[in-house]
Each structure stands twice: as C-alpha cells, then as structure tokens.
Structure 1
C-alpha cells in the first residue's frame, strides 16, 4: 500500500508541474485583451498572444494619450 501511495504522489506532482509550465503567461493574456479591445479581431488577438510582452510594449509606445 505504501508503494501505491508514493506512486500516486509522484504522478500528482508531475501533473502540477506540467500545468504550471504549460499555462498562459500574464504577458500573453494582457496582449490578447489589449488587442481585442482595440481591433475586435480574433486573428490579430491570437498573434498578439503569441508575441506577448512585445505587443504590450508596442502598445505602450504607440497608444494615443
């Protein structure tokens, strides 16, 4: 029984690590929301999400004040 508990604990830790590494980053989420509010286009929002923080910095430079 102790062997099965340790195996279960190891697989749970592996699942937690995988989810943490494969999650969406805050830069990507911010870029998608900024792009969607400006363009309302799924394609450009997806591209902004791929570039993440680069798009956020670009937006900060070119935005109208």
Structure 2
C-alpha cells in the first residue's frame, strides 16, 4: 500500500511540474526537464512566487 502511494505521488509531482513549466515557458523541452526534477521544480515554483 505504501509503495503505491509513493508511486502515485511521484507521478503526480512529475505531471504537475510539467504542466506548470509548459504554461510558464511554452516549451516542451523545458516541460520534460522540469518533469524529471518533479517535486523540486514545484517547490521552487511556489517559493519564487511565479
């Protein structure tokens, strides 16, 4: 059960980072790069206030 939650959280974080990146930069390449960094980019985005 715990492994499923972790896998879902990672997948959600990746998708969220990619969506935020694409909306901000309008670039598929940047969306993929930010998707790799996943939750780190989401937290950075929130901290920087964009």
TM-score under structure 2 length normalisation: 0.76
Runs of 4+ that moved beyond 6 A: none
C-alpha RMSD over aligned residues: 1.5
The higher-RCO structure (CA 8 Å, 6+ apart) is 2
Q: Which has the larger radius of gyration?
A: 1
TM-score under structure 1 length normalisation: 0.59
Consecutive unaligned residues in structure 2, runs of 5 or more: 1-6
Count of aligned residue pairs for this structure pair: 42
| 1:27 alignment partner, one of 2, 7, 13 | 13
Consecutive unaligned residues in structure 1, runs of 5 or more: 1-20
